Structure formats: C-alpha cells, structure tokens
C-alpha cells in the first residue's frame, strides 16, 4: 500500500535522527509531505483499512512511535542548554513540556490507532496552540541570540543544536497533526519550515568564524587596555587561562609581544577566519590563532609537521629589511598544512602560550636564525 511506503520512509528518517543524536531540521524539512501522509494513514486506518493490511500497519506504525518516543526523550534532555539566557528558563521549560506532552499523545495515535486517541491529540494541539508554540520559540530565540552567556562557542553551538531539535520536534508534530485531519492545510508545515529555516540560518551566522573572532578580539583588547602594568609573559598567562575557561573544544596559540610594526620585526600569514591581531594597545601586540584540527591529527601527521618546522631553525629565514610576505613562502615551500605562520623578532620579547593543548601545540614553534645570525620566534599553527 502507498501508506506503507510513507511509514517506512518515516521509520528510516527517524532512525537517521536517532543515529545523529536528535531531531534535525534539514532532514525533516525535506520530508514534510511524508509525515503528512503518515498522519493521513493513521486517520484512514480507523475507518478504511482492511483486516489483511491492518496487522502489518500496526507493526510498522508502532516502530515509528517507538523511534519518536526515544527522540522526544533526547529533546527533553537538551533543555539544560536554555538556562542562563535573557528569557527566564521557566518559559522555555514550559515549551519543552508542551512538546513532550503533544509527542506522547501523537505516539498514542500510533500505538493505539483509534478515533478517540486521534481526537484527543487533535484537541490538545488546538488547545495548546501548536502554531503559537513554534512562533514563541522563534521569537524567544531571536531575543536571546545576543545573550552574553552565549558568547562562547561551545555554549552557543550546544544551544543552537537544542533549538534545532525543539523546533524540529514541534514541526514534526505540526505536520502529523495536519495529516490527521480531513481537508487539512498541508501548506502550513511548509510555511513554518521556511520560518524555522530562516531562524537557524540566522543562528549559523552567529556561531561561525565571525562570532568567535569578535568575542576573542574583545577579550584581547580588554586585557591589553586594563593590564599595562603587566609584562608580556603575565598578559600571555592571563589570556591562556581565560581562553581555556571560555573554549573547551578549541585549541589556541596566544602570542604577546612588544608594540612593534609589521615589516622588519613582524610578519604573519594565515587563514583569515582562524586568527586575529590586536596591535599597539596596552604597550603590546597580541596574536591569537585558533584551530580544532590539531587534536584530531594522528601522531604521524604531528611528527611530520614538527619536523618541517624544525628544518627552519637555521638558514631558511633570509636577511631581509622587510619580512612581509615571507610567512607565505614558508607556508607554501617549507611547512605545509598550516593555518597560520608568524615570524617575530626575538628582541620584541614574544611570549607564546598553548591553550587546550599538550606540549607546544596546536602546531609547533621554534627560535629560528637568519643567515646573519639574528633570532626570530617562528610559530606555525596546524591547519
């Protein structure tokens, strides 16, 4: 039967959700009509399904209900990421309770497909104003997007995933609800899907490279402006501690050195959204490089990277009046797979610190000598 195809597809979809750990909007939004068809199938089964098909139907639909039950439990556990926002947690908690309650009633229509269960589910959706619940989540999230407690990437990404799961669960329920009704408005879920997609894309803009850069740049500038009395080493230690507390999954190089200019004393090259330079504030310059790949690199990759940097200790750095552009040469010809290369004259007192890394990562740094015997600190950040 055509209904069985929709149920089978929904089982596959929810199994994929479970394998990924939660409801996911992108997958559901591509399959809204399938969920509508499942709702229609359950409603039709009450009056129109023949006995020869009913047993197979109940077996399949019960499997779908079981998957939804597990997904609902996973969504409920994500509520913890809605604490400490501008909006009181109790407001979000009520929305999680509503989603969980409606999900249980939806599961009842699948475990026990009969007219009363379907009626109870439909009335609960109307009474709880399912549409308003979705719009409330969207409005609250937009209000909380710039919350100070979400300036740190780990917190923001956890919250974003939780928002995705909650809204996707509501959208799933909404699609099923319209499918269970005769002459239901099958366009409504697609309209809601567009609104949810717009919000999640907006959140993606907040959690990307510009988000961490803005946060870290503000931190670095405050540290420079408020700590002129500290030396370079003390400032580097302070930044290492603060960044380590703020970001748990990222690895950083922090370099604090005298407030020199680019050219003779300083040159760097790297992937723009992976590093920042804050120049001539608080009697110092600061460079911060960020990556997540060093922790994932295997021992062979790390050893090979270190060996390439070590090979630059003597005779590779030229005797130039202006080193602008030279880090790019190092990246291309000597140290591949780098996200950042910095060269700082040693008499500028550069202090290098590793954050969330063992030994000297994320990458490697050395004292390199040019052909005139002048010393530089060479920092190579792994891509």
Q: Could you tell me the residue ranges of all domains in the chain?
A: 2-207, 210-382
CA separation for the pair 97, 76 (Å, rounded): 8
Instruction: Write b or e for each residue in 95-122: b if 16 or more Cβ atoms lie within 10 A of its Cβ, otherwise e.
Output: bbebbeebbebbbbbbeebeeebbeebb
pLDDT band at 45 (very low <50, low <70, confident <90, very high): confident
Residues 6+ apart with CB under 8 A from 251: 290, 291, 292, 294, 295, 354, 355, 356, 357, 361, 362
Determine the distance from the C-alpha atom of residue 5 to the mean position of all C-alpha atoms in its chain, rounded to a whole number: 34
State whether residue 78 is helix, strand or coil: helix
Q: What is the mean pLDDT of residues 93-106?
A: 94
CA separation for the pair 245, 252 (Å, rounded): 12
What is the pTM for the complete model shown? 0.59
- pLDDT tens across 273-329, in order? 899 999 999 999 999 999 877 877 888 889 999 999 999 999 899 999 999 999 999
The per-residue pLDDT for 188 is 86
């Amino acid at each position: 039967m055509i209904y069985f195809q929709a149920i089978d597809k929904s089982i596959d979809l929810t199994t994929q959700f479970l394998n990924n750990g939660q409801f996911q909007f992108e997958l559901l939004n591509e399959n809204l009509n399938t969920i509508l068809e499942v709702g229609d199938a359950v409603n039709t089964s009450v009056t129109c399904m023949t006995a020869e098909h009913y047993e197979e139907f109940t077996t399949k639909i019960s499997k779908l209900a079981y998957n939804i039950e597990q997904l609902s439990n996973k969504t409920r556990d994500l509520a913890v990421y809605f604490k400490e926002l501008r909006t009181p947690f109790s407001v979000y908690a009520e929305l999680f309770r509503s989603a969980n309650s409606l999900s249980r009633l939806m599961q009842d229509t699948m475990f026990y497909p009969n007219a009363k269960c379907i009626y109870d589910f439909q009335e609960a959706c109307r009474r709880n104003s399912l549409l308003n619940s979705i719009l409330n989540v969207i409005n609250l999230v937009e209000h909380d997007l710039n919350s100070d407690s979400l300036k740190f990437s780990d917190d923001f990404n956890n919250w974003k995933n939780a928002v995705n799961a909650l809204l996707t669960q509501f959208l799933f329920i909404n699609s099923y609800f319209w499918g269970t009704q005769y002459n239901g408005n099958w366009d409504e879920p697609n309209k809601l899907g567009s609104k949810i997609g717009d919000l999640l894309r907006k959140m993606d803009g907040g959690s990307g490279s510009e988000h961490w850069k803005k946060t870290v740049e503000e931190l670095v500038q405050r540290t420079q402006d408020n700590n002129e009395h500290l030396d370079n080493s003390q400032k580097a230690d302070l930044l290492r501690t603060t960044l380590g507390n703020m970001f748990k999954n990222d690895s950083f190089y922090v370099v604090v050195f005298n407030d020199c200019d680019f050219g003779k004393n300083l040159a760097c090259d790297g992937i723009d959204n992976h590093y920042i330079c804050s120049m001539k504030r608080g009697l110092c310059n600061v460079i911060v490089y960020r990556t997540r790949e060093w922790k994932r690199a295997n021992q062979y990759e790390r050893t090979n990277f270190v060996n390439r940097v070590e090979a630059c200790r003597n005779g590779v750095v030229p005797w130039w009046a202006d080193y602008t552009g030279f880090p790019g040469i190092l990246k291309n010809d000597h140290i591949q797979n780098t996200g950042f290369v910095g060269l700082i004259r040693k008499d500028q007192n550069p202090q290098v610190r590793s954050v969330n890394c063992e030994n000297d990562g994320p990458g490697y740094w050395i004292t390199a000598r040019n052909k005139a015997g002048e010393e530089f600190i060479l920092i190579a950040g792994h891509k």
